[in-house]
């Protein structure tokens, strides 16, 4: 019952929250004193980054670990990992795009050699590598195992990359740009909007993941139909 | 010769397209290498856009090494080489075809990486655009030279690691010429002189290849 | 036919690679200490069947137990129990014939003294120091056999062992599998020619289209 | 024996690779439009002899003329006149069976329409779209034959063509070389089995230690 | 496990020693790449000894890619993999052995290239010497990670080009840590912290490899 309800409601609630975020972000919240309307990216960029880095990559990693673990080794886990990684790649790209759009007027450049930017790009390449590996081999089992290992290997790099942010900064001052407190005066309404955006994008992630998963299952079902055909055809090869 | 060249180029590109190595493997590698070399230099050096052309060409060189390697791998096992040898293809045509296929791949990668350089290394967009003809010629020369050196080291599976050693000294002048004319395009300067060097190198390598490729082929 | 616990049991075994069914539903029971010849037209699925039994490909559907190991289970354990001789060479090309065997012997914790006698048996003594990639086709096949002789597995899977062996080689080979079966191991051979030795009376299984279509003892 | 101009003439032919003599002084004359079978124990030098005739290795000492080309001369020209079927596959693994043949046809300026009929002849029609690396051992051999059928060379050099062909394949193959010889081409085959077809009466040459030790018509 | 590791390491090193790939191909490539990346940056950047550590590690990374590739190539054809699989070697031992062999090769190359850096990039000798322990550990971690990624992409001949894409992001933190501690050794600074990161990475990769290598092996 609960399950059914949540299934029904996930999509609509996500849409409502997203609409609310945009309404609050575009019309209700005031423009920033320094950055003007540009600061409205605050309601998109951090939320997108949160989904990309932690939510979807994390889901993919946990699902992969569960797949490798003998007792829970199931196709479901492999599928979840695969789908979450795809969603993650999309959100990483969105993070890079929104960040770049923000960076161009804010810092005058599209890209800076900041640890956070670099680490985000690196994570993106990890995701691409993962997806590339998935198409590199015919053997389904091998594929699943290898990509699960890649996801886990990628995940140990996340903390390393994460900590290197601080170390890098302490060594190279001036590269740090992420000081929202300095650039924004976070009013109550802005903070609320920020949180709503986080919630909205979180739900969006789950929604996308579920849809992607459904598509994957459908694809596999279609494959199974063509598979029966292939089996019949192969068997016919024997009879002359 | 032209017919053979076309045949070979189409074959190579079809194999490449089928295996999607360019899209899924070479391009991400290029992007990654660009980012990494930026990292290795640290923000002080890489932040300067003056390092842009050099890094771009360095990465293109590494990408080219991968692709030359691949261009030899798809020629297949010794058995395949033996039978293809019995087709009696015109070696000049084979050379041109393989060089063309390689050039197409390098141009595609170069385009993406130039975009990356603009975004990541802050090379100016206008200057980058005006460097385009020189980049095209330089990458073409790289493809021609690479095909020659690929044939030199191809064949057995042993000497794959030999390729970088042999080809890097030959690529160095190309790298310098390309970097100079790219820099000139960015900051003003004698663009055409360096451009001309690349052009001469392209013509020279094409000529040498057409004349000598037959000598290099698997005996 | 079905003795206490059959060495090989397959039920509706399907092997898919890239969406194509290499095996399309094989049912098979092989008794321990038996000799089986698998025949069939080119592309019928002989190599695929042997690879499945060796744990080198995974079962897509159906069920199977080989050498006491479930095919859905630990394939590494299975591989440890079988010996495999394939179309291609099965050794390090850059090591010499005897270095290859010494490596195998050490990996199996077998005395390395055996290596020389095994080389002698397969007729490669004069090529002991030649690197594997320089051996001729038949010599490579013999080196593969030598590797198996060291291994002494419980289940021998031999894919067209006759191909490129000369007359002596084939006679030696027939003797060898006779000995192996007598000593209690199970042997499965794929072949296009019937075995030559009259003293061996193998069961012959015919494949077609990834299925068993004939079975004759 | 020696008709107007022999297709193959070898005088004391020696082939050295890495200091080892693969052939140690072969003397041989082959008449045009003849069928020759080369036999010998494993490692005797059969493959090496065929590779020499195909211009795939160079002559270290001695002399030879093959298909009108001096072995000390333009090997590329020689390769253009012979057809070679080796142990390994002889095509692009990543292209499909028919794409491989279309490539060969175009390279030879032959109409690509022939490809379908050649595939039909070697029994690979149902695998035309399968990539070469996925074919079974026998199917790869058949694809190699198809490649040669397109080529129609003057001198056919076939290294153990029987290996991994099934019964049908061997029968087809015997017919094929009968036709080929009748049409005026010369065929040299290395084999461990005698040819099956009784209508073909080949000359049989036996090698041992890189030398011709027997010659029987 | 240890016995297997030793067996595998000795086998890999023997093959390497026989083919002389390290001496004749990898080393010259490394030296060449060092010189070339200096060239690519132009005199303004490369002249500074501050670029030394970064370039050194960049080149070591490229060398490592070559050697990882090679370490997979010597495992041979699918046929070889199949028969070696039937030997039932302990995967943890195989992993350790291959990682050890790779590490030995990387250490040798690193030593030579450090000499090159002192000569060509003017890094201070004393500082370079004091960076040695950190270099050893970092290269060890690179070898462990590289062996893992090599097994991931090895097997078929297709995915060889996949190696750089998959491994470069993993190598990036190692590169940074190595570069930092090398720089710290040269100019004074928190050497030990970076050294520790490399050490943690080494231990982590060794642990993962011992646990998961079996999962990766060709099925
Ligand atoms: C290409 C450029 C950029 C990339 C790749 C990028 C990436 C990221 C990532 C990965 C996060 C999540 C960090 C975490 O939660 O640990 C983040 C957060 C954030 N980014 Fe960006 N960003 C970029 C540009 C910008 C710009 C230009 C600004 C504003 C001037 C900005 C402001 C923020 C803020 C305010 C947050 C949330 C607070 C925080 O965790 O620091 N970003 N960004
Ligand atoms: N992707 C694919 N598409 C179509 N067919 C495929 C594909 N992959 C494999 N095959 C076919 O699967 C079969 C594999 O058979 P296998 O190698 O087991 O044959 P075999 O009985 O050993 O034959 P041979 O006697 O020639 O060795 C072949 O017919 C091959 O063409
Ligand atoms: N470097 C070397 N050192 C020693 N022996 C070598 C070397 N290179 C090649 N050989 C030997 O040369 C011979 C090559 O013979 P070839 O391949 O022509 O034999 P073949 O008659 O075709 O045998 P098969 O029937 O097994 O195919 C083999 O005996 C091989 O061991
Ligand atoms: Mg087979
Ligand atoms: Mg032979």
Task: Report how far residue D200's alpha carbon sits from residue D177's, in angstroms, rounded to the nearest whole number.
Answer: 9
A166 pocket-lining for ligand 1 (C-beta < 6 Å): no
* Type and span of the H or E element at E40: helix E27-46
A40 pocket-lining for ligand 1 (C-beta < 6 Å): no
Q: Which residues pair with C61 in a beta bridge?
A: C14
Q: Tell me the three state secondary structure of residue E164.
A: helix
Q: Which residues contact D217 (CB under 8 A, 6 or more apart)?
A: D201, D203, D204
Contact call for residues C6 and C32 (beta carbons, < 8 A): yes
Shortest CA distance to E36 belongs to which of B175, B51, B183? B175
- Verify whether the Cβ–Cβ distance B119 to A111 is below 8 Å: yes
Q: Which residues contact D185 (CB under 8 A, 6 or more apart)?
A: D33, D152, D153, D154, D155, D156
Ramachandran quadrant class, D111 (left: phi over 0; alpha: psi -120 to 50; beta: rest): beta
Contact call for residues D152 and B87 (beta carbons, < 8 A): no
Q: What is the mean predicted confidence (pLDDT) over C181-206? A: 82
- Verify whether the Cβ–Cβ distance C90 to E82 is below 8 Å: yes
Q: Tell me the three state secondary structure of residue E34.
A: helix
**Cβ-based contacts under 8 A for chains A and C:** 47
Q: What is the mean predicted confidence (pLDDT) over D156-178? A: 88
Q: What is the mean predicted confidence (pLDDT) over A44-73? A: 85
In this structure, the number of other CB atoms found within 10 A of the CB of residue A147 comes to 26
In this predicted structure, the answer to whether residue B22 has a pLDDT above a threshold of 80 is: no
- The pLDDT value recorded for residue E129 is 86
List the domain boundaries for chain D.
Answer: 8-216
CATH architecture of C8-216: 3-Layer(aba) Sandwich (3.40)
Which residue in the set E18, E79, E88 is minimally distant from C76, CB to CB? Answer: E88
Q: Tell me the three state secondary structure of residue A73.
A: coil
Shortest CA distance to C93 belongs to which of E99, E81, E23, A121? E81
Task: Report how far residue A74's alpha carbon sits from residue A58's, in angstroms, rounded to the nearest whole number.
Answer: 18
Q: Give C-chain residues touching E77 at CB under 8 angstroms.
A: 88-89, 93
pLDDT in tens, E20-34: 777 777 788 788 778
In this predicted structure, the answer to whether residue A167 has a pLDDT above a threshold of 80 is: no
Task: Report how far residue A46's alpha carbon sits from residue A56's, in angstroms, rounded to the nearest whole number.
Answer: 14
Q: Which residues surround ligand 5, an ion (CB under 5 A)?
A: C 136-137; D 47
Question: Taking CA D178 as the corner, what is the angle to CA D172 and CA D179, rounded to the nearest 5 degrees?
Answer: 90
- The pLDDT value recorded for residue A72 is 64
D127 pocket-lining for ligand 2 (C-beta < 6 Å): yes
Chains touching chain D through at least 3 C-beta pairs below 8 angstroms are B, C
Over chain C, what is the mean pLDDT?
87
- Rg from Cα positions in chain B: 17
Both structure tokens of E74: 């010597």
Over chain E, what is the mean pLDDT?
81
Question: Residue of the nearest CA to atom 19 in ligand 2?
Answer: C43
C49 touches chain A (CB under 8 A): no
In this predicted structure, the answer to whether residue A90 has a pLDDT above a threshold of 90 is: yes
Contact call for residues D177 and D156 (beta carbons, < 8 A): yes
Split at pLDDT 50, 70, 90, the class of A99 is confident
Both structure tokens of B82: 């033996």
Both structure tokens of A120: 């985000």
From C18, C20, C85, give the residue whose CB has the most ligand 2 atoms within 8 Å, as the site to mutate: C20
* C193 or C97, greater pLDDT: C97
Ligand nearest C43 Cα, by number? 2
- The pLDDT value recorded for residue A35 is 65
- Verify whether the Cβ–Cβ distance E28 to B165 is below 8 Å: yes
C20 pocket-lining for ligand 2 (C-beta < 6 Å): yes
Task: Report how far residue C109's alpha carbon sits from residue E3's, in angstroms, rounded to the nearest whole number.
Answer: 10
Residues with CB under 6 A from ligand 3: C 127, 130, 134-139, 164, 166; D 17-18, 20, 22, 40, 42-48
Phi first, then psi: what are they for B47, rounded to 5°? -60, -35
pLDDT in tens, B166-214: 777 788 888 888 888 888 888 777 677 788 888 888 999 999 888 888 7
Both structure tokens of B117: 């350089």
From A97, A102, A168, give the residue whose CB has the most ligand 1 atoms within 8 Å, as the site to mutate: A102
Q: Give E-chain residues touching C107 at CB under 8 angstroms.
A: 4, 7, 87-89
* E22 or B117, greater pLDDT: B117
List the domain boundaries for chain E.
Answer: 2-218
Task: Report how far residue E158's alpha carbon sits from residue E149's, in angstroms, rounded to the nearest whole number.
Answer: 15
* B45 or A190, greater pLDDT: A190
Contact call for residues E98 and E5 (beta carbons, < 8 A): no
pLDDT in tens, E56-67: 888 888 888 888
A57 pocket-lining for ligand 1 (C-beta < 6 Å): no
- The pLDDT value recorded for residue E54 is 81
Q: What is the mean predicted confidence (pLDDT) over D87-107? A: 86
pLDDT in tens, C66-91: 998 998 888 888 888 888 888 777 78
Q: Give A-chain residues touching B43 at CB under 8 angstroms.
A: 112-114, 172, 175
Q: What is the mean predicted confidence (pLDDT) over A124-129? A: 86
Task: Report how far residue E136's alpha carbon sits from residue E128's, in angstroms, rounded to the nearest whole number.
Answer: 12
- The pLDDT value recorded for residue A141 is 76
Q: What is the mean predicted confidence (pLDDT) over C107-130? A: 90
Diameter of chain C by CA atoms?
48
Q: What is the mean predicted confidence (pLDDT) over D99-117? A: 89
Ligand nearest C97 Cα, by number? 3
Which residue of chain C comes nearest to E14, CA vs CA? C95
Q: Give B-chain residues touching D104 at CB under 8 angstroms.
A: 87
Task: Report how far residue D30's alpha carbon sits from residue D156's, in angstroms, rounded to the nearest whole number.
Answer: 12
Task: Report chain C residues touching chain D, CB-CB < 8 A.
Answer: 17-18, 20, 40-43, 47, 87, 123, 127, 134-139, 141-142, 160, 163-170, 192-193
Determine the distance separating the centroid of ligand 2 and the alpha carbon of D168, expressed in angstroms. Answer: 17
Q: Which residues pair with C38 in a beta bridge?
A: C190, C205
A64 pocket-lining for ligand 1 (C-beta < 6 Å): no
- Verify whether the Cβ–Cβ distance C42 to D160 is below 8 Å: no
Task: Report how far residue C198's alpha carbon sits from residue C192's, in angstroms, rounded to the nearest whole number.
Answer: 17
């Amino acid at each position: 019952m609960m399950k059914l309800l949540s299934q029904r409601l996930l999509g609509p609630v996500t849409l409502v929250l997203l609409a609310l975020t945009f309404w609050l972000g575009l019309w209700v919240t005031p423009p920033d004193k320094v950055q003007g309307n540009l600061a409205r990216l605050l309601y998109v960029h951090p939320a997108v980054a949160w989904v990309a880095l932690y939510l979807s990559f994390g889901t993919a990693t946990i699902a992969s670990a569960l797949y490798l673990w003998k007792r829970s080794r199931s196709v479901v886990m492999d599928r979840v990992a695969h789908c979450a990684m795809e969603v993650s790649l999309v959100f990483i790209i969105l993070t890079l795009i929104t960040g770049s759009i923000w960076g161009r007027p804010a810092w005058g450049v599209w890209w800076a050699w900041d640890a956070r930017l670099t680490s985000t790009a690196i994570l993106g390449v990890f995701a691409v590598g993962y997806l590339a590996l998935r198409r590199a081999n015919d053997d389904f089992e091998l594929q699943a195992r290898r990509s699960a290992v890649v996801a886990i290997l990628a995940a140990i790099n996340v903390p390393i990359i994460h900590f290197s942010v601080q170390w890098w900064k302490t060594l190279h001052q001036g590269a740090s740009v992420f000081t929202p407190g300095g650039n924004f005066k976070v009013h109550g309404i802005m903070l609320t909007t920020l949180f709503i955006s986080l919630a909205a994008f979180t739900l969006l992630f789950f929604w996308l993941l579920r849809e992607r998963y459904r598509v994957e299952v459908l694809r596999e079902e279609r494959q199974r139909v063509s598979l029966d055909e292939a089996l019949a055809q192969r068997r016919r090869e024997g009879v002359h | 010769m032209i017919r053979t060249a076309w045949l070979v180029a189409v074959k190579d590109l079809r194999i490449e397209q089928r295996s999607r190595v360019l899209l899924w493997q070479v391009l991400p590698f290029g992007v990654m290498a660009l980012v990494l070399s930026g990292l290795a230099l640290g923000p002080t050096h890489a932040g300067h856009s003056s390092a842009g052309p050099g890094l771009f060409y360095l990465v293109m060189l590494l990408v080219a090494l991968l692709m030359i390697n691949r261009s030899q791998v798809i020629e297949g096992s010794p058995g395949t080489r033996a039978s293809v040898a019995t087709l009696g293809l015109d070696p000049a045509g084979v050379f041109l075809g393989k060089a063309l296929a390689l050039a197409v791949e390098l141009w595609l990668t170069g385009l993406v990486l130039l975009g990356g350089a603009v975004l990541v290394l802050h090379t100016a967009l206008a200057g980058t655009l005006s460097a385009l003809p020189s980049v095209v010629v330089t990458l073409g020369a790289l493809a021609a030279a690479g095909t020659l050196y690929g044939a030199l080291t191809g064949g057995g599976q042993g000497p794959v690691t030999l390729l970088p050693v042999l080809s890097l000294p030959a690529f160095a002048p190309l790298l310098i010429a390309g970097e100079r004319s790219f820099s000139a395009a960015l900051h003003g300067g004698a663009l055409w002189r360096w451009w001309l060097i690349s052009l001469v190198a392209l013509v020279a390598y094409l000529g040498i290849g057409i004349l000598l490729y037959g000598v290099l082929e698997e005996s | 036919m079905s003795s206490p616990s059959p060495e090989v049991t397959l039920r509706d075994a399907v092997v898919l690679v890239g969406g194509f069914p290499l095996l399309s539903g094989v049912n098979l029971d092989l008794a321990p200490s038996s000799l089986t010849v698998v025949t069939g037209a080119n592309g019928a699925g002989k190599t695929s069947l042997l690879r499945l039994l060796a744990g080198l490909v995974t079962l897509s559907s159906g069920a199977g137990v080989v050498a006491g190991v479930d095919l859905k289970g630990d394939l590494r354990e299975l591989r440890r129990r079988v010996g495999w001789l394939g179309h291609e060479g099965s050794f390090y090309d850059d090591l010499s014939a005897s270095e290859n065997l010494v490596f195998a012997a050490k990996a199996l914790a077998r005395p390395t003294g055996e290596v020389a006698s095994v080389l002698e048996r397969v007729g490669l003594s004069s090529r002991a120091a030649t690197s594997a990639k320089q051996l001729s086709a038949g010599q490579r096949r013999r080196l593969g056999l030598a590797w198996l002789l060291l291994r002494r597995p419980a289940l021998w899977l031999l894919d067209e062992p006759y191909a490129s062996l000369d007359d002596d080689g084939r006679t030696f080979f027939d003797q060898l599998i006779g000995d192996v079966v007598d000593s209690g191991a199970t042997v499965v051979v794929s072949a296009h020619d019937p075995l030559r030795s009259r003293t061996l009376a193998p069961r012959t299984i015919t494949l077609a289209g990834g299925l068993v279509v004939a079975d004759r003892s």
